[in-house]
Structure 1
Amino acid sequence: MTRADVAAAAGTSVAVVSYVVNNGPRPVSAATRTRVLEAIELTGYRPDVVARALAGGFTHTFGLLVPDVSNRFFAELAHQVEEHVYASGHLILLADSADDPVRERELMNALMERRVDGIMLASVDADPDLSGAIAGGTPVVLLDRIAPSALTSSVVPDNIGGARAATEHLIEHGRRRIGFIAGPAALPTSQDRAAGWESALAAAGLERGPLVEAPFSRAGGLEAGRRLLTGPDRPDAMFASNDQQAVGLLRAAHDLGVRVPQDLGVITFDGSQDAAFAIPSLSSVVQPLAEIAEHAVRLLLARPHVTARVTTGHTLALRASCGCPDGPTAP
């Protein structure tokens, strides 16, 4: 059905139907408006939202591109982004790069081809190529990465401060040989969390514990845990770079008969529900997902477009894995 069909059913011109559908630019009498609305219901006409949006220069959609939507952290982040995007009257297109930089670039191009009004990107690349988006005028907000260009915004957690606070807490429990499961070495996130861990150890006069690099996954944490917990100089505490790794570490400890927290204190970074529901429940540096989503959406909504670099804070959720009394299940 077209507007011409609605106009014929209502006994008006196509222009009048357009005024009713778009609520302007010219006024329409109440009686005529009622006839047009009844004709729309009768014919089943639906406005072409995409065509109308393109004519106005905006599609009222944003893209969100993450490395792995099955990762609980990114799933919870996507939920918070959706909440803020929905509240703004927009829609979100969610894409998963599967930790593949080639696929990430292809999905970036696909989102731009669909004329999204902006893209939120949690990149798998330390220095993602954003030249196409910049040249095309598509605003990009990097999540968990510092923007490489002044033309791009970023919203990042305090990775160094959070990692330092987590390691300091293990030290407060009397742990002296604290190991670290790092993420991929090329990523700034991994580098910053390693820097925070090392800073806390140095400030306490402790030697640097063992470090194993691993993917941000349960399998990565499992393999790293097996390597770290079978050596002759086993650590008495571990800081994992994310919750997925920490869950894998718990499995390795269980398989090897290492008790958590009696033999091994554990703390992690992110604060997803995986941490709260693990056994034992995981102490964690909690990222403020609602705040991250709010900043990212606000930056994309700004007209005219502005760029900014936002660093969010963090809190510590202290649970059984580090030796603290276990709190409520909900994070």
Structure 2
Amino acid sequence: MMDPLPIDRSRPTTRADVARLAGVSTAVVSYVVNGGPRGVAPATREKVLRAIEVLDYRPNSSARALKRGATHLLGVVVPDIENPFYAEFVGAIDAAAHSRDRSVLLALTNKDPDREYEMITNLVDHGVDGLLVLAFLHNKRSYTIADTWVPRVVIHEAAVGHAFPIVGPDLGQGTEAATRHLIDHGHRRIAYIGGAMPAPRIDFRRIAWESVLNREGIPAHAYALTTWDRRGGSEGARRLLEGEDPPTAILAGSDLIAIGALQTIHEMGRRCPEDVAVISIDGTSESQYSWPALTTVRQPFEAVSATALDTLLDPGERPASQILPMELIIRASCGC
């Protein structure tokens, strides 16, 4: 048994208090609490755990869970939750986590490199058992925070130059299905609206759109490079429809782009789908309640989330990259 040292109970117990009682350095206490980065001998670890119990030291969720060796908390990193795409993915991840007796801590980066690093560091400090990164991280240091002892899976990204497992949708397959659907409707002037992609990211949507048209001997019509939101879709559609050879169909790289494009089509006195057909990629709930309702290629939100959780919690012999098929959902905006 340990004889508690005099502790000032008028203030919170500190790591230094634990170190004094266990007879170790504060660094050793940190290694035990955070699970690394250095190992601690079993006997020393037991001393620290006993001191934590005696002093009721609770720096974060990891200290409360040291006895069972896990916090059952998973960190989820996203740029924002205003975009329905991220909101629906977070909902699917939360459901998948709950079914596996895990809880989720959410971190919003706002696409700010400094905030990315801060948020991921905070998640690690809270003792998360793993990280799900549903974002392109602009600060490359953010990918390597505690990567030696906190497993992570990157969702929906490709070509980011890291060694972590990737789980995401087959954007090439989904875009090919959408493009072929428009071709089957007789369209030959099929335009694409997408957003800018910072290197080393790749827009597999635009690549697949061009590839299908080339294979069918159809000239790739004009495309509009804009932003991945409603305003970008509106501006992109206006640019295309005011051109000399306006498209009869638009493939939108996201639901939000498609919603913005629909507004511009209506404002310009055009009809959808009679004058301009529209197909989107993502398949969020917003696509179902536009006017007309959008034909879309739906992201496999639930399947990707479940696969990402399984990969994070039980990596086994899984491949480094797992790409899941998308589903074409036919509604009114394509002319069906």
Q: Which TM-score bucket, shorter chain as reference?
A: 0.7 to 0.9
State the AA in 2 paired with 1:195: I
* Map of 1:29 onto structure 2: none
* Map of 1:51 onto structure 2: 63
Instruction: Provide the rounded CA distance (Å) in 2 between the counterparts of 1:57 and 1:321.
Output: 52
* Map of 2:245 onto structure 1: 233
Matched, 1:291 2:303: yes
Q: Deviations over 1:43-79 (max 9, x none)?
A: xxxxx96533134432110011112211111111111
Matched, 1:207 2:219: yes
* Map of 1:14 onto structure 2: none
State the AA in 2 paired with 1:119: L
* Map of 2:144 onto structure 1: 132
Unaligned stretches of 5+ residues in structure 1? 1-47, 325-331
TM-superposed CA distance for 1:236, in Å, is 0.8
TM-superposed CA distance for 1:303, in Å, is 6.9
State the AA in 1 paired with 2:210: E
Give the helix-richer structure, 1 or 2: 1
TM-score, normalising length: structure 1 = 0.77
* Map of 2:134 onto structure 1: 122
Please give the secondary structure, in 1, of the residue aligned with 2:333.
helix
TM-superposed CA distance for 1:132, in Å, is 2.7
State the AA in 2 paired with 1:72: P
Instruction: Provide the rounded CA distance (Å) in 1 between the counterparts of 2:143 and 2:61.
Output: 29
* 2:91 equivalent among 72, 79, 92: 79
Instruction: Provide the rounded CA distance (Å) in 2 between the counterparts of 1:98 and 1:131.
Output: 16
Instruction: Provide the rounded CA distance (Å) in 2 between the counterparts of 1:307 and 1:94.
Output: 26
TM-superposed CA distance for 1:107, in Å, is 1.5
* Map of 1:182 onto structure 2: 194
* 2:228 equivalent among 189, 194, 216: 216
TM-score, normalising length: structure 2 = 0.76
Please give the secondary structure, in 2, of the residue aligned with 1:62.
strand
State the AA in 2 paired with 1:203: R
Instruction: Provide the rounded CA distance (Å) in 1 between the counterparts of 2:319 and 2:138.
Output: 19
Unaligned stretches of 5+ residues in structure 2? 1-59
* Map of 1:97 onto structure 2: 109
Instruction: Provide the rounded CA distance (Å) in 1 between the counterparts of 2:104 and 2:165.
Output: 18
Q: Percent identity?
A: 35
CA 1:72–1:303: 2 relative to 1, 3 Å? closer
State the AA in 2 paired with 1:267: I
Matched, 1:158 2:170: yes
**Contact 2:116–2:142 under 8 Å retained in 1:** no
Alignment of 1:228-267 (within 5 A): 228-267=240-279
Matched, 1:311 2:323: yes
- Please tell me the root mean square deviation across aligned C-alpha atoms, in Å: 2.3
**Contact 2:113–2:139 under 8 Å retained in 1:** no
TM-superposed CA distance for 1:281, in Å, is 0.4
Please give the secondary structure, in 2, of the residue aligned with 1:321.
coil
Instruction: Provide the rounded CA distance (Å) in 2 between the counterparts of 1:188 and 1:149.
Output: 8
* Map of 1:42 onto structure 2: none
CA 1:190–1:305: 2 relative to 1, 3 Å? closer
CA 1:54–1:136: 2 relative to 1, 3 Å? farther
Please give the secondary structure, in 2, of the residue aligned with 1:119.
strand
Q: Deviations over 1:159-179 (max 9, x none)?
A: 111111111111111111111
CA 1:260–1:218: 2 relative to 1, 3 Å? same
TM-superposed CA distance for 1:189, in Å, is 6.4
Instruction: Provide the rounded CA distance (Å) in 2 between the counterparts of 1:304 and 1:236.
Output: 48
TM-superposed CA distance for 1:106, in Å, is 2.4
Please give the secondary structure, in 2, of the residue aligned with 1:320.
coil
How many residue pairs match? The answer is 277
* Map of 1:168 onto structure 2: 180
**Contact 1:299–1:307 under 8 Å retained in 2:** no
Please give the secondary structure, in 2, of the residue aligned with 1:54.
coil
